[in-house]
Structure 1
C-alpha cells in the first residue's frame, strides 16, 4: 500500500511538471480565445448538417439545450440565448459567409490538434488529405452521429419500461448518469483519435473517465459559486454571464489538457520515470541496438527496445530518432522500422556529444551500474571531463570578469 501511495504521488508530480513544461495554462488560454470565435460556427455547421436530414429536424436545438443543462454551469443560460441568436443570424449568411464559418471551425480543430500533438511530442502533424478528411469527418459525420445517438436515446427514454409508471428499478439512476457516460465516451474518442500517434484505448478511457468526472465536479462547484457568491454581478451587471462563461471555458480546457497529459503519461512506465536515465546514455544504448540489428540484417523498432528492458515512451523514442536522422545516422525502412545508414566507425562520440541538443549528463545523474560493456568507460571519461572542467573553469566569476582588464597602475606604465 505504501508503494502504491508513493507511486501515485510520483506520477502526480511527474504529470504536473510535464503539464507546466508543455505550457498547459497558456495553451488553455489560447484555446479559450479560439473557442470564443469558433463556437458559433461549430453550432451553425452542426445545425446545418442535422437540418439536411428530415428525421433530425429540431434535434439540433434539443442537443444544444441538453448540453447546456448537463455540461455547462447555470451561468450559461444567458450565454445560450446569445449563442442561439447568433446562430440564427448565421444561418442567413450567403455561401461565402458559410465558407468563412467553415474555415473558422477548421482553424479551431487545427489548434486543438496542434496542442494535443505538443503534449504527445508528435513532430509530424497530419498534412494534406488525411488532415482534411479528419476535420471534415468531425464537422460532417460528427453532428450526424450525435443526432442519431440523441434520437435513439430519446426513444429509449420514452419507453414505458424506462420512464413510465412500470419503469424498471434503477432506470432513474441510469438516466442521471447518462450525461457522464456520454462525456466519458466523447473524451475517450477525442484522446484516441486527435493526436497523430497511436494511443492505447485503455489509456484513452482512463483519461476520458478522469476528465469527465473532474468536469462534472467542476461544474457543480462552479454552479455553487455562482449561486452563493453573486458579488460578480455588482461589478459586471447584466454583462456578468460573458466573463463567467469565458472562465468556465478556460477551466474546462485546463481539465481537458491535463487529462491529455494523463493519457500520454500512462504510456511512460513507472519504472522508466523513476530511472530518469540521461539522454546520452539512452542514445548510446539505441545506437548499440541499431549496430547489432545491422549485423543481423534486421531493423529496430520501439517494441524491440521494450523487450530488451528499455521502456522508452513513444515521444522520447521519436525525439531521439529525429535527432539521429538529422545527424544522418539512421533512416526509416518501408516497414516503419529503423536501420543505420552511416558507418559508426567514421562518427566519434565527441561528434555525438557536441551535436547532442540535450544537457550533458553529470556523473551524479548516471546509474551506478548498467549492463552495457561500454558503460564503465563512459563513467570514467565523464568523471575525468568533470575534473578537467573544474580545473579550467573553477575560478570565481568575478575573477573571470576581471581577468581581461588592466589595473590603473599597469595602464600608467
Structure 2
C-alpha cells in the first residue's frame, strides 16, 4: 500500500471514528470502567479460587497487569483497588450479584460501542448474549490464570532464564506482556461485535492497539516523571485524575483499533469515490424489485454477487432508509424483501424524502448501465434549467419584488 493510500485510509478511519462518536463512547466506557473494575477483579479472584492449582495466581496476575499495562501513576490506585477487592470478597450473595450486574453493564457498553462501529443493527439477545458474557466472566479468568501459570513455569526453566538460556529466550520473556495484549485485543475484536470479523483483520487491529497502548504508556510515564507540576495542583489526589485520563486514552486506542478492523473488513471501497447515494438507492430498489418477481430475498452478500460491492456501512444506511419508508422488511432468513407495491410509490416522494439529494446533474457524469439512468439525468437537467429560470435575477430584485414576471411566466 503506497504512502498516499495509507494517508487516505488514515483520514477515512479518523472521519469514521468521529462520526461514530468515538470520544464520547470512550468517555462512557471510562465512567463504566470506574465502577466495574473492582467487580471484575472480584469475579477474577473468585473464579481462580475455584481451581486449587491457581491459588495465589490472582495476586500475581494483578501485579503483572499493573506493572506492565498501567503507567507508574497506578501504584497508589493499585493499593486502593486491592483493598476494595478484598472487602468485596466478603459480601453476601446479594452483594456479589450486584457486582456481577455492574460487570455485565460494562460488557454491554463495550458491545454497544463496537456494534455502532460495525453498523450492527441487531445486538445479541437472549441466550447468545448471556452465553458470551458468561464465557468472558467465567472462562476468561481461568484462561488468563492458565496462561500466566504456564508463562511463570516457562520462565523458571533454566533453558529460558538460566545462565545457559537459549539465545533470544530472555527477549521473548520481555515481550510476553505485549504478546498477551495482542492476544487479548484480537479476541475482543473477533468475538465482541455481533457480526463476522475475519481473524486476520482482528489480529491486525490487535497488533495496532497493543503497540499504540505500549507507546502511550511510555509517553504517559515520561510526562508524569518529567512534568510533576500536577502534584502541586492536586496534591495527594493527583493520582485519581491521571488514572481516569489513562483509562480514557486506553479506550480511545481500543475503539480506534476497532475502527481499523472494521475498515479492513469493509474491503477497499474507501479508495474509490462512491456513486451518489440516490443512485445506489435506485440500484438497490431495482435489484429488490427483480428479486421480488422471482420470490427471492436480498442481503449484502447477494448484492455483491450481483456486481455491486457495496461497503457494509452504506448498505446499512440505504436499508435503514428503505425500512423507515416502509418499502422493505426483514425476512426470517436475515435477508430483505419489498413489502410495498412500487407502482403506488411516486418517484417524487423518493426524491423529497431521501436524505441524499443530487444537487447537480454533473454528479451523475460517467454513465451507468441502468434503464432509469438516462431519464434521471435528463429530468435533473430540465429541473436545473427550470430552477435557473425561476430564480433568475439579482438578490436586490428579489428583495424589491421585481421578479414576478419570471415566476408568472
Match for residue 359 of structure 1? Answer: 356
The answer for unaligned runs of 5 or more in structure 1 is: 404-413
Structure 1 pair 335/119, CA: closer, same or farther in 2 (3 Å)?
A: same
Following TM superposition, by how much is the alpha carbon of 1:326 offset from its aligned partner in structure 2, in angstroms? 3.5
CA distance in 2, matches of 1:398, 1:273: 45
Match for residue 52 of structure 1? Answer: 50
CA distance in 2, matches of 1:48, 1:92: 11
Match for residue 404 of structure 2? Answer: none
Structure 1 pair 271/317, CA: closer, same or farther in 2 (3 Å)?
A: closer
CA distance in 2, matches of 1:287, 1:193: 33
CA distance in 2, matches of 1:92, 1:182: 31
CA distance in 2, matches of 1:126, 1:307: 27
Match for residue 301 of structure 2? Answer: 303
1:248 and 2:250 correspond: no
Match for residue 152 of structure 2? Answer: 154
CA distance in 1, matches of 2:294, 2:270: 28
Q: Does the Cα contact within 8 Å between 1:156 and 1:162 map onto a contact in 2?
A: yes
Match for residue 219 of structure 1? Answer: 217
CA distance in 2, matches of 1:163, 1:188: 28
The Cα offsets for residues 229-259 of structure 1, whole Å up to 9 and x where unpaired, read as 1111111222211111111111111111111
Number of aligned residue pairs: 400
Could you say what secondary structure the match of 1:65 adopts?
helix
Q: How does 1:361-400 map to 2 (within 5 A)?
A: 361-363=358-360, 364-392=362-390
Match for residue 186 of structure 1? Answer: 184
CA distance in 2, matches of 1:349, 1:385: 14
Following TM superposition, by how much is the alpha carbon of 1:373 offset from its aligned partner in structure 2, in angstroms? 2.6
TM-score of the pair, normalised by structure 2: 0.91
The Cα offsets for residues 282-322 of structure 1, whole Å up to 9 and x where unpaired, read as 11111222233334454323223223432212232233223
TM-score of the pair, normalised by structure 1: 0.90
1:117 to 99, 115, 118: 115
CA distance in 2, matches of 1:188, 1:28: 19
Q: Does the Cα contact within 8 Å between 1:330 and 1:338 map onto a contact in 2?
A: yes
The Cα offsets for residues 30-53 of structure 1, whole Å up to 9 and x where unpaired, read as 111111111111111111111122
Following TM superposition, by how much is the alpha carbon of 1:260 offset from its aligned partner in structure 2, in angstroms? 0.9
Could you say what secondary structure the match of 1:339 adopts?
strand
Structure 1 pair 43/245, CA: closer, same or farther in 2 (3 Å)?
A: same
